[in-house]
Every structure is written in structure tokens, then in C-alpha cells.
């Protein structure tokens, strides 16, 4: 562990590979989006439970959570569940490159929500970055509309995924002020898993009807994308600036698209590449502005 603390860049690389595996693993799932997401979150909660209840500090904190915090965490979990459903479903209709790039616009939607609901302010440069990101999204939509099929619908679902995860992030910004990361994520993930299980029930989808494929894919998503992905990035904030960590996450579409090109033969076109460059560049620029 001391070696890793001296070389934290190793964890950044592991985190990038972890989150980049998410879209690829979803593509290999034979189950509907809600079932795949339900297995991912169920495994995540199961793996996190010993950590929370094995610590007296976390147990006391969990018991002392007030009703308002618990309610906000539940609402946050609901939006996170919608994010997973929309994003997993988008991967069934559009390319990995388009889907992952559009989802990366979450930071833009967080900034807009911060201004509208939390009385934040945006500089002229930040507004310009948002406008450029929107332009990049338009280019990707134009490229996918010319491909026929349901690519444009997949892009729209990916956009909904970005908006819903932004709501999840905004609620977390409020709740996290008085709750530890571990307890907050445990409450949110538990609520998220419950919502996804309810979605499966309403849609008449069985968790066990798709054999071991859905179970194993869900476990791999929990291990790679959640624990070796998002959790590692949270750990990295101890050693790197928020802007650097945010910029590192922007490697996800690049790595995912590269893997998809080899595994699924998805080669991005000129408009997709141009739109992707505009979106990733503007999000990176905005992250630098926010850090300053």
C-alpha cells in the first residue's frame, strides 16, 4: 500500500480501465438493461455491507442519520437508478463511442443545475464551454442520424443518463456536507438497487431468467466499474486535484471506443470524432475552470 501511495498514478490508470470496462461489459450482457443494472447494484451493496457494518464508526453514523438525509439519499438513489437504466439501454441502440461521450456531459448539466437550484454562478468562459459541448453533441447526433436504425434514440437515452446522474451529483453535493462518503454511498446504492429491482418487477423481468450471464456481468460491473473505478477515483482525490481526476475520467470514452472498435467493429466516423473532440475538450476546459 505504501508503494501505491508513493505512486498514486497507478490507481488513476486502474480507475480509468475500471470505468472503461463498463460499456463493454454491458454489451456482453444477455439480460435487459434493468436486470443488468439491478445485478450490478445488488452486488455493490452486498460487497459494501461488511465494510459498513463491520465498523463501529459507520454503524453509529448510519443509525444517527436523520429523516431528511435518508429521504434525500433515497431520491438520489432513484436518479442514479434511472441513470443506469438509461445508459445501459442506450448501449443497445447506439455505438459505445457516442454513448460514453454524451454521458461525459454530466459535468455540464451539474453546473447548470448548480446555477438553477443551488444559486451558483457561471462565468462567461464556463457558458462558452457548455455551448461548445452542446455543439459537439449536435455533431454526434447528426452523424448517428445518418446511420439509420435507432442510433439517434440511443443518443437521446445517453443524454437522459447524463442529466439523471447530474441530479444524483447535485443531491450528493447537499447531503455529503454532513455524512461520510462510505455511509452516503451505501444508502444511495441501497436505494438505487431497490428501485432497479422494483423496475424489474413492474416490467415482469426475472433476475434469474437469464442464467449466469447476468449474474456474472453484474458482479464484474460492481468489481471493475464501481469498486475499481469510481471508488478509486474518490480515493485519488487525496493525492490529485479535482480537475485532474475529472480530466482522467474523460479517458473513458477513448478507451471504451478503442475496445469497441476491436471487439465490435465500431469505427467512429469523421463527425463522431469531431463531436467527441469538442465535447471532451470543453468538459476538460470546464473542469479546469471549476478547479480554479
Chain mean pLDDT for the chain? 85
* For the chain, domain boundaries: 2-291
pTM value surpassing 0.85: yes
Residue-wise pLDDT tens digits, 90-130: 999 988 988 988 888 887 787 777 777 767 777 788 778 77
The DSSP-derived string for 17-83 is HHHHHHHHHHHT--S-HHHHHHHHHHHHHHHHHHHHHT-HHHHHHHHT--HHHHHHHHHHHHHHHHH
Given a cut of 90, whether residue 13 has pLDDT beyond it is: no
Closest by CA position to 99, among listed 159, 28, 21: 159
146 falls in which pLDDT band (50, 70, 90)? low
Residue-wise pLDDT tens digits, 192-215: 999 999 999 999 999 988 989 999
Residue-wise pLDDT tens digits, 59-70: 999 999 999 999
23 falls in which pLDDT band (50, 70, 90)? very high
254 falls in which pLDDT band (50, 70, 90)? confident
182 falls in which pLDDT band (50, 70, 90)? confident
pLDDT of 176 = 73
Given a cut of 70, whether residue 268 has pLDDT beyond it is: yes
Amino acid at each position: 500500500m505504501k508503494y501505491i501511495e508513493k505512486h498514486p498514478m497507478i490507481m488513476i490508470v486502474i480507475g480509468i480501465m475500471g470505468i472503461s470496462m463498463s460499456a463493454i461489459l454491458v454489451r456482453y450482457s444477455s439480460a435487459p438493461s434493468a436486470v443488468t443494472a439491478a445485478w450490478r447494484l445488488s452486488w455493490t451493496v452486498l460487497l459494501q455491507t461488511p465494510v459498513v457494518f463491520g465498523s463501529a464508526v459507520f454503524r453509529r453514523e448510519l443509525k444517527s442519520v436523520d429523516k431528511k438525509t435518508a429521504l434525500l439519499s433515497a431520491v438520489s438513489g432513484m436518479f442514479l437508478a434511472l441513470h443506469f437504466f438509461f445508459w445501459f439501454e442506450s448501449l443497445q441502440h447506439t455505438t459505445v463511442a457516442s454513448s460514453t461521450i454524451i454521458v461525459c456531459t454530466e459535468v455540464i448539466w451539474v453546473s447548470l443545475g448548480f446555477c438553477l437550484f443551488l444559486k451558483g454562478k457561471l462565468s462567461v468562459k464556463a457558458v462558452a464551454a457548455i455551448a461548445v459541448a452542446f455543439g459537439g453533441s449536435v455533431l454526434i447526433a447528426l452523424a448517428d442520424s445518418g446511420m439509420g436504425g435507432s442510433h439517434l434514440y440511443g443518443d437521446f437515452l445517453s443524454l437522459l443518463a447524463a442529466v439523471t446522474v447530474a441530479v444524483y451529483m447535485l443531491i450528493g453535493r447537499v447531503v455529503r456536507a454532513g455524512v461520510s462518503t462510505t455511509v452516503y454511498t451505501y444508502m444511495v446504492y441501497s436505494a438505487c438497487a431497490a428501485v432497479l429491482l422494483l423496475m424489474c418487477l413492474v416490467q415482469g423481468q426475472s433476475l434469474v431468467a437469464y442464467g449466469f450471464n447476468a449474474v456474472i456481468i453484474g458482479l464484474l460491473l460492481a468489481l471493475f466499474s464501481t469498486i475499481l473505478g469510481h471508488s478509486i477515483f474518490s480515493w485519488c482525490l487525496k493525492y490529485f486535484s479535482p480537475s485532474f481526476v475529472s480530466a482522467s475520467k474523460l479517458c473513458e470514452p477513448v478507451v471504451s471506443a478503442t475496445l469497441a472498435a476491436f471487439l465490435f467493429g465500431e469505427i467512429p466516423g469523421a463527425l463522431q470524432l469531431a463531436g467527441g473532440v469538442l465535447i471532451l475538450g470543453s468538459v476538460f476546459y470546464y473542469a479546469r475552470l471549476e478547479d480554479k
